[in-house]
Chain A
């Protein structure tokens, strides 16, 4: 006990301890910033790719016979099917919608709902991006929600 008190009172080497604390703070702050920008970049990348998938699914499912008469309608079931095909074939997600890069897990897509309406031809994808950060031991897995929608409202000549 006495020895412990003596160590606490001893002022020798306090500059070294101060530098250690300062370095720890700087490293932690840098790690937080780098991790934030990494996750932000991942989120934007996934959002961009998903938006493209939703757009192409709507484009695939447009019913041309209606378009000829000036109406815009989609086959909602076909749109959903094409979206799932895109997720697996183009985004290379597995059956559980997990993304791997060099056999290493990167993220998982958690799809809450896919809402498709025939008229107006709209496809909306709601869900969340589940990923891990270096602070997972504190926060657990990170969930970043998204809502992506695409509408085809191009009207050619004709119609009522």
Chain B
């Protein structure tokens, strides 16, 4: 009899206990701090994930600049330029497409005469992950990037070369 009475008393006091906990203001600043920390961490993670876009753009710019410099020194779109391009792709983890345009080749070969200009354009689509659910593939948006840098040949090609 005593036991039965106790169990009825427990079931009745449960919502009352919750109500008391919710209305109790002691330790509220602790929860406040926890929520604020969570918000700040979420914001920081969001900002840091956006930073990856800028880093990728800077890397693409760096790759393009280096290739332009190689072509300037070589005076042609040579195997060395493609070799440097391949190495930089490996180093940065990017896989951009490269086009050399606005160029006038001399002697019908891929040689650029001294002080002739050319433009190297690189295009790349950066996959930006919004979130990664455990039950499905990651949700991504593709951010197109394009870098164009103009260079000038520093090599003199004699007509017989």
List residues of chain A with CB under 8 Å of any chain B CB: 52, 55-56, 59-60, 62, 64, 86, 90
CA distance A60 to B72 in the complex (A): 15
Residue contact B156 to A52, C-beta cutoff 8 Å: no
Residue contact A86 to B154, C-beta cutoff 8 Å: no
Q: Which B residues are in CB contact (< 8 Å) with A52? A: 72, 152, 154
B104 smallest CB distance to A (angstroms): 15
List residues of chain B with CB under 8 Å of any chain A CB: 72, 114-115, 152-156, 158
Known: A52-B72, A86-B115, A90-B115. A59 touches B152 (CB 8 A): no
A75 smallest CB distance to B (angstroms): 13
Specify the chain B residue showing the minimal Cβ separation from A59.
B156
B113 smallest CB distance to A (angstroms): 11
Residue contact B114 to A60, C-beta cutoff 8 Å: yes
Q: List 21 A-B contacts (CB under 8 A).
A: A52-B72, A52-B152, A52-B154, A55-B154, A56-B114, A56-B115, A56-B152, A56-B153, A56-B154, A59-B114, A59-B154, A59-B155, A59-B156, A60-B114, A60-B115, A60-B156, A62-B156, A64-B158, A86-B115, A90-B115, A90-B152
A61 smallest CB distance to B (angstroms): 10
Residue from B115, B153, B154 having most chain A Cβ neighbours under 10 A: B115
B137 smallest CB distance to A (angstroms): 41
CA distance A52 to B114 in the complex (A): 11
Specify the chain A residue showing the minimal Cβ separation from B153.
A56
CA distance A56 to B158 in the complex (A): 14
